[in-house]
Structure 1
């Protein structure tokens, strides 16, 4: 399990450590930053948080295999697995939200795979978003956008963002994108300051492949690429493609393959309540506050 103490950037950094991996350990996040929209727990709740994570009776990600007969013997207690399920029972499993990730591939004009940010060329994953941006170049980027293998439009803009529902409240939101609930399997395609006023953000099905190709018409010869805020050391040139799709999420023998399992707080309104997400909109993003209204 990963435990984070900080803001949303700390959670993004933790998830980025597994950007090339197919499985991410469960994340238990304590909000101690400036915004903390993704941080589920307050540090004052640390006892309750660890109790729900370790003693819920969940069978996912067991460190050791201990039979029922061995659990009660003093000599066999090796770490947290020996007390799993004793205090809260198997019906009190921790509430886990598996956040979706993007799968990102980068290719040059000849179709050869490029590395996304150092290391060997292979697909990387993003929790929030992937974007291409004109960077310090004074000219707008011209990007050919393909959705599901079909040409959609030639975008003339500062850049383009493809985000997850989790990332819909980040850079995409600042660029005019919609807010999407994390349980909605979808991709959000958002232009950054487009020249055309008719280009609006698009919400697409999760399985839809999106390709962003730097057009031959570009006056600037390169654009920058960033994955979850980490900028690629070198830009990409004319004809290069950014291929993005939603990562497949499956469950096998109680373990998640794909996605980011986040341990959530159980609210008093019931296990299916969305109070945490709604509260984040109201309390942190000041959603729908009247102009000039004082907030506490």
Structure 2
């Protein structure tokens, strides 16, 4: 590829130093293809087991923006992955790549920002594993990068944000957490592979030692102690204008997938909206409200919860239909089977003639008029052959050190974050 063509693909490249081959940003199109793991059902347990056919190579890391402390953590994490797993390639979002490429001694890969309502080119075809450094918003942003892909790579999340309801790991655990994910399902398969020559070093921490299968064979988790996967169902969303043309158009004209919710709301209009609601193809009601929320079980603890919706366990295949400030107090939130199609249509009686539609916090379009429809269906997470696919595979705690635990972390995390029955004030009378 000549320099002129490369500058057209990566217009920022001319600002980089050409004296060092390390301090560069490369396009993800140069990376090898994606390695997709298998998700194996486990007896008497609702979690799945992660099993790699080959070691993952291309790691996408997303971070919370405009947070210097997390930027430093990103540099630390990237350096650890490169020195300990020399075959790994680091993929960053364009802004993060520009921010740290000159501070790491190896190339960084990134993509060109896509047009609205589309996903970055090549990203879903190249990414083996996603790591997030931030809060729930960072996980949602990472998921939205694959909003037009039928399958999402496994996501390893480190809670470094404000709430952290979806985050599983503390950042200080990153070395052990990543090694357990990297070695998940690796017994004889990895032993037959050759690893790059390790870089010379004398690390104090054994988890910083350049990877050699002989070094960690006795510590690999094996086929019976793989990393655990909580498969979070997404929503399959189609937005159509009054003329019947699709608005959330992607490169393949497919639906958009949402991890949290799709919202039809009045936006800046002062008027309530009149929305015709259809469930399973049948007319349910004419809702008069500020808007309507259709959320997944994962999104049940987000905007839907603030609007009075139920809390639903992420493993319950369902859709939540929640009105936003309805005029009639008799309109209550509904929980429906995931395979039930829901349609929201902007009715003819509206005084304000337009609404706004947001999918996972991203506004699809302004000024969608009367006759607009939002069609939502739960995502299928099993193939015709019975294999687990689709959804957002979230890596959760299943193995701690050499001990295996089968606890439901969602239950403990729910009470810790929402503080059910938490006492008011100092109940012991011994204030500090």
TM-score calculated relative to the size of structure 1:
0.87
Q: Answer 1 or 2: higher relative contact order, Cα 8 Å, separation at least 6.
A: 1
Pairs within 5 Å for 1:217-228: 217-228=349-360
Question: What is residue 396 of structure 2 aligned with on the other side?
Answer: 264
Query: How far is 1:235 from its partner?
Result: 3.2
Quote the Cα distance in structure 1 between the aligned partners of 2:211 and 2:185.
Answer: 11
Deviations 1:153-179 (A, max 9, x none): 000000000000000000000000000
Determine if contact 1:53/1:94 at 8 Å carries over to the other structure.
Answer: yes
Query: How far is 1:136 from its partner?
Result: 0.7
Structure possessing the higher radius of gyration over alpha carbons = 2
Question: What is residue 63 of structure 1 aligned with on the other side?
Answer: none
Deviations 1:60-96 (A, max 9, x none): xxxxxx967733x56799x98968x932212111000
Describe the shift of the 1:167–1:55 C-alpha distance in structure 2 as closer, same or farther (beyond 3 A).
same
Determine if contact 1:95/1:271 at 8 Å carries over to the other structure.
Answer: no
Quote the Cα distance in structure 2 between the aligned partners of 1:232 and 1:8.
Answer: 21
Pairs within 5 Å for 1:39-50: 39-50=167-178
Q: Which moved more, 1:93-102 or 1:40-49?
A: 40-49
Say whether residues 1:154 and 2:286 are aligned partners: yes
Describe the shift of the 1:289–1:253 C-alpha distance in structure 2 as closer, same or farther (beyond 3 A).
same
Determine if contact 2:275/2:288 at 8 Å carries over to the other structure.
Answer: yes
Say whether residues 1:134 and 2:262 are aligned partners: no
Unaligned runs of 5+ in 1: 60-65
Say whether residues 1:28 and 2:156 are aligned partners: yes
Question: What is residue 92 of structure 1 aligned with on the other side?
Answer: 225
Quote the Cα distance in structure 1 between the aligned partners of 2:252 and 2:236.
Answer: 16
Say whether residues 1:279 and 2:409 are aligned partners: no
Say whether residues 1:124 and 2:246 are aligned partners: no
Query: How far is 1:290 from its partner?
Result: 3.5
Quote the Cα distance in structure 2 between the aligned partners of 1:236 and 1:126.
Answer: 20
Question: What is residue 179 of structure 2 aligned with on the other side?
Answer: 51
Describe the shift of the 1:12–1:58 C-alpha distance in structure 2 as closer, same or farther (beyond 3 A).
farther
Q: Which moved more, 1:194-203 or 1:244-253?
A: 244-253
Query: How far is 1:105 from its partner?
Result: 0.2
Question: What is residue 200 of structure 1 aligned with on the other side?
Answer: 332
RMSD: 3.0
Question: What is residue 62 of structure 1 aligned with on the other side?
Answer: none
Unaligned runs of 5+ in 2: 1-128, 199-209, 428-432
Describe the shift of the 1:113–1:233 C-alpha distance in structure 2 as closer, same or farther (beyond 3 A).
closer
Determine if contact 1:145/1:152 at 8 Å carries over to the other structure.
Answer: yes
TM-score calculated relative to the size of structure 2:
0.60
Quote the Cα distance in structure 2 between the aligned partners of 1:131 and 1:252.
Answer: 31
Query: How far is 1:254 from its partner?
Result: 10
Quote the Cα distance in structure 1 between the aligned partners of 2:186 and 2:320.
Answer: 33
Quote the Cα distance in structure 2 between the aligned partners of 1:82 and 1:267.
Answer: 20
Question: What is residue 174 of structure 1 aligned with on the other side?
Answer: 306
Quick check: which one's helix share is greater? 2
Pairs within 5 Å for 1:230-241: 230-241=362-373
Question: What is residue 63 of structure 2 aligned with on the other side?
Answer: none
Q: How many residues align?
A: 285
Determine if contact 1:158/1:192 at 8 Å carries over to the other structure.
Answer: yes
Question: What is residue 36 of structure 2 aligned with on the other side?
Answer: none
Q: Which moved more, 1:183-192 or 1:107-116?
A: 107-116
Describe the shift of the 1:156–1:166 C-alpha distance in structure 2 as closer, same or farther (beyond 3 A).
same
Quick check: which one's strand share is greater? 1
Question: What is residue 341 of structure 2 aligned with on the other side?
Answer: 209
Describe the shift of the 1:148–1:82 C-alpha distance in structure 2 as closer, same or farther (beyond 3 A).
farther
